[in-house]
């Protein structure tokens, strides 16, 4: 049967067909939809973990007792999961274990564009790279076979254009003859103490040598001979761009991008006049090919930055580009917090209080955008609290008070909680605001350990943030309604003055939560044009439902789009002229 699937849907399907029993992840664009699709298969236990490290550990646990397990994350998630990954490389697996990492060249939705292929080389684990959805499915299945055959975790690397592109896929059946999981005791393999780990390192090195040789005969590494003038080594999405732009070129298409099949590369190099490597981001293949003494052109013509497009590839090869229609400069259209978003009032207040906001990763990172303009740093998941601790260690007392760490519920549980323990332990005198909107909103509303539901939608414990903070040792814990500007200002400024760690928790849910009884919209508001003085106070919160209507000759007026308004009433509190009322 044929279906059009995204790369992520196809990986989920591949995991199902491979007989996977456990799938675990922390959400992250562009990888999130993989687990959102494994839940279509009740045979797979799918779950959101608190972070990528935990998700990999869950996968390792299931693998060691014999189940095939899938772990998925975005590229920066591998940084968090790197600790178990590097030693898992030594232990190897029992049931197959595949780690999918989704890279984001062009930083469509990320804080950097690191190239995860380096992790394969660094951790010494094989990596496959599919070039379309069909390969996402078949490579996922193959990855599990290779994992068990070579006793190694296998990484499957996608990029945004693979994860989020759809193409036609032929579906297969689920394998049924896998051994049932059971307890296995094998300390020499699974207990990585120096005495056990030392001999395992030799196993790892031998495995890579074998894989490099065997890779020469794997059908996923194939030579496509056409015109011999130009030969291109490529993989993943770059293969598609090469076929599009250089249809006559000979191609060595790599499915296994680490370890490289050097004998096959030499064979290909001998058959073409000029050899190129076309790859996005780092010179990962190129550097290794050059180190093997093979002459090749790569980053001399293709940028280390951004994603490859057919147009950029044409430029690299000096091919004529198509004529383009010229257009005038336009205002941009960046994303914005939703109408009624509970974060808006907090950032408005932080701006008013001239706080130095140690930020974090989530929808609320948008708090840095004008007119809220209330975020000063954003580095990685969970960084806000640790960075606030660092800043107050060295700032003069007056500036110390200005430091506020802002972090979402999911990010706090991901890696922020460790930062808070450290802040309390080391007596950091900063204010921490946990923006608890009950959901991992940025990536599309995934449940987390504070939302009371699992990925498979069964009710579960919801973490009690005040109790958690109390147990950590925070003495000043306050819960506020983030839609009440007076309360926000009063409580946040009081806590900023305090020379001790304090935590403020906001208690309003994300407006996009669909689960019944969590979010209820208020009554839509409207601007009474007669009362509106045109003072623009309501525009300072940057709500998408409020529009400034300019008027030639006269003062303009604000207007509220009743269809967009969620009735949060934050704007109403800013209007000194009572011009904002319930819509009729």
Partner 1 sequence: MSHKITNIVLVGVGGQGILLAAEILSETCMLAGYDVKKSEIHGMSQRGGSVVSHVRYGKEVFSPMVPEGEGDILFGFELMETYRYLTLLKPGGSVVVNDLCIAPPAVLIGQTQYPADLAGKIKSQVPDCLLVDGQNLALEAGNARTANTVLLGAVSKRLDIAENFWLESIERMVPKKAVAVNLKAFELGRSLA
Among 112, 267, 393, 548, binds partner 1 (CB under 8 A): 548
Residue 366 near partner 1 by CB under 8 A: yes
Q: Give me the helix-helix angle, 485-497 and 344-352, nearest 10°.
A: 50
Residue 164 near partner 1 by CB under 8 A: yes
User: Which range, of 35-43, 177-185, 329-337, 493-501, touches partner 1 by CB under 8 A?
Assistant: 329-337
What is the longest distance spanned by two Cα atoms in the chain?
83
Give CA–CA dist 16/178, Å, rounded: 13
| CB 4, min distance to partner 1, A | 5
Among 109, 118, 377, 479, binds partner 1 (CB under 8 A): 109
Among 86, 174, 556, 562, binds partner 1 (CB under 8 A): 556
Give CA–CA dist 358/371, Å, rounded: 18
Residue 111 near partner 1 by CB under 8 A: no
The pairing of strands 249-254 and 222-224 is antiparallel
| CB 33, min distance to partner 1, A | 9
Q: By C-beta, is 459 or 550 nearer to partner 1?
A: 550
Which alpha helices (H) appear in 441-484, and where do they start and end?
Answer: 465-472
Q: By C-beta, is 390 or 544 nearer to partner 1?
A: 544
Give CA–CA dist 581/525, Å, rounded: 5
Structural element, H or E, at residue 15? helix 7-17
Task: Write each residue from 15 to 44 as x if it is in contact with partner 1 (CB under 8 A), else as -, in one continuous string.
Answer: --------------xx--------------
Residue 550 near partner 1 by CB under 8 A: yes
Look at residues 17, 8, 1 and name the one whose alpha carbon lies nearest to residue 142.
17
Among 37, 46, 147, 165, binds partner 1 (CB under 8 A): 165
Task: Write each residue from 336 to 355 as x if it is in contact with partner 1 (CB under 8 A), else as -, in one continuous string.
Answer: xxx-----------------
Give CA–CA dist 215/308, Å, rounded: 26
Q: What number of other Cβ atoms are within 10 A of residue 560's Cβ?
A: 22
Residues 444-473 that bind partner 1 (CB under 8 A): 444
SS3 444: coil
C-alpha 520 chain-centroid distance: 29
Q: What number of other Cβ atoms are within 10 A of residue 507's Cβ?
A: 16
Among 335, 467, 520, 582, binds partner 1 (CB under 8 A): 335
Give CA–CA dist 97/361, Å, rounded: 28
Among 194, 219, 318, 334, binds partner 1 (CB under 8 A): 334
User: Which range, of 75-83, 262-270, 391-399, 541-549, touches partner 1 by CB under 8 A?
Assistant: 541-549
Residue 332 near partner 1 by CB under 8 A: yes
Task: Write each residue from 120 to 149 as x if it is in contact with partner 1 (CB under 8 A), else as -, in one continuous string.
Answer: ------------x-----------------
Residue 546 near partner 1 by CB under 8 A: yes
Q: By C-beta, is 130 or 181 nearer to partner 1?
A: 130
Residue 306 near partner 1 by CB under 8 A: no
Q: By C-beta, is 54 or 341 nearer to partner 1?
A: 341
Look at residues 301, 283, 280, 279 and name the one whose alpha carbon lies nearest to residue 291.
283
User: Which range, of 82-90, 174-182, 187-195, 234-242, touches partner 1 by CB under 8 A?
Assistant: 234-242
Among 221, 240, 446, 573, binds partner 1 (CB under 8 A): 240
Q: CA torsion 107→112→118→119, rounded to 10°? A: -110
Q: CA torsion 188→194→199→200, rounded to 10°? A: 70
Give CA–CA dist 80/74, Å, rounded: 10
| 8-state DSSP, 438 | S
Q: How many chain residues are in contact with partner 1, going by CB under 8 A?
A: 60
Tokens of residue 76, six digits: 């920066």
Backbone angles phi, psi at 403, to 5 degrees: -80, 120
Among 116, 138, 160, 288, binds partner 1 (CB under 8 A): 160
Task: Write each residue from 488 to 517 as x if it is in contact with partner 1 (CB under 8 A), else as -, in one continuous string.
Answer: ------------------------x-----
Calculate the alpha carbon distances from 91 to 127, 149, 531 in Å.
17, 14, 72
At a CB cut-off of 8 Å and minimum separation 6, what does 151 contact?
A: 92, 93, 203, 207
**Site residues for partner 1 per CB under 8 A:** 2, 4, 29-30, 108-109, 132, 160-161, 164-168, 237, 240-241, 243-245, 309-311, 314, 321-328, 330-338, 363, 366, 369-371, 442-444, 512, 536, 539, 542-544, 546-548, 550, 556
């Amino acid at each position: 049967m044929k279906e059009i699937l995204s790369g992520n849907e196809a990986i989920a399907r591949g995991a199902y067909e491979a007989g996977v029993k456990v799938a675990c992840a922390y959400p992250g664009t562009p990888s999130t939809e993989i687990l959102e699709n494994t839940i279509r298969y009740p045979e797979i236990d799918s779950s959101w973990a608190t972070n990528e490290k935990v998700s990999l550990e869950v996968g390792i646990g299931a693998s060691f007792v014999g189940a095939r397990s899938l772990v998925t994350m975005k590229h920066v998630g591998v940084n968090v999961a790197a600790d178990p990954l590097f030693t898992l490389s030594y232990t190897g697996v029992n049931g197959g274990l595949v780690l999918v990492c989704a890279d984001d060249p062009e930083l469509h939705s990320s804080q950097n564009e690191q190239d995860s292929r380096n992790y394969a080389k660094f951790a010494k684990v094989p990596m496959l790279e599919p070039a379309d959805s069909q390969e996402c499915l078949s490579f996922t299945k193959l990855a599990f076979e290779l994992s068990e055959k070579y006793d190694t975790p296998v990484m499957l690397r996608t990029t945004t254009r693979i994860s989020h592109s759809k193409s036609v896929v032929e579906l297969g059946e689920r394998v049924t003859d896998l051994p049932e999981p059971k307890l296995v005791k094998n300390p020499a393999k699974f207990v990585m103490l120096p005495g056990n780990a030392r001999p395992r390192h030799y196993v790892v090195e031998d495995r890579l040598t074998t894989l490099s040789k065997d890779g020469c005969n794997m059908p996923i590494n194939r030579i496509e001979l056409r015109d011999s003038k130009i030969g291109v080594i490529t993989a993943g999405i770059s293969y598609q761009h090469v076929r599009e732009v250089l249809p006559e070129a000979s191609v060595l298409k790599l499915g296994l991008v680490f370890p490289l099949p050097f004998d096959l590369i030499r064979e290909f190099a001998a058959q073409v006049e000029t050899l190129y490597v076309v790859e996005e981001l780092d010179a990962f293949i190129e550097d290794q090919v050059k180190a093997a003494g093979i002459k090749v052109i790569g980053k001399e013509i293709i940028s280390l930055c951004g994603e490859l497009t057919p147009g950029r590839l044409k430029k690299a090869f000096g091919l004529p580009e198509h004529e383009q229609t010229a257009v005038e400069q336009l205002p941009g259209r960046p994303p914005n917090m939703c109408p009624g978003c509970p974060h808006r009032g907090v950032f408005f207040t932080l701006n008013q209080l001239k706080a130095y906001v140690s930020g974090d990763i989530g929808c609320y990172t948008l708090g840095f955008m004008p007119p809220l303009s209330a975020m000063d740093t954003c580095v990685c998941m969970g960084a806000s609290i640790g960075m606030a601790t660092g800043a107050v260690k060295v700032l003069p007392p007056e500036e110390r008070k200005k430091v506020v760490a802002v972090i979402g519920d999911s990010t706090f549980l991901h890696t922020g909680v460790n930062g808070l323990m450290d802040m309390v332990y080391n007596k950091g005198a900063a204010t921490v605001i946990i923006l608890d909107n009950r959901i991992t909103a940025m990536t599309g509303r995934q449940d987390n350990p504070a939302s009371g539901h699992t990925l498979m939608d069964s009710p579960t414990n919801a973490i009690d943030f005040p109790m958690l903070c109390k147990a950590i040792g925070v003495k000043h814990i306050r819960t506020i309604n983030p839609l009440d500007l007076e309360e926000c200002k009063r409580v946040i400024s009081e806590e900023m003055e305090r020379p001790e760690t304090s935590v403020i928790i906001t208690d309003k849910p994300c407006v996009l939560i669909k689960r019944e009884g969590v979010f209820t919209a208020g009554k839509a508001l409207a601007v009474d044009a007669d009362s509106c003085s045109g003072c623009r106070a309501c525009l300072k919160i940057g709500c998408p439902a409020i529009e400034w209507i300019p008027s030639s000759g006269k003062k303009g007026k604000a207007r509220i789009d009743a269809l967009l308004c969620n009735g949060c009433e934050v704007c109403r509190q800013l209007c000194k002229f009572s011009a904002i009322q319930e819509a009729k």
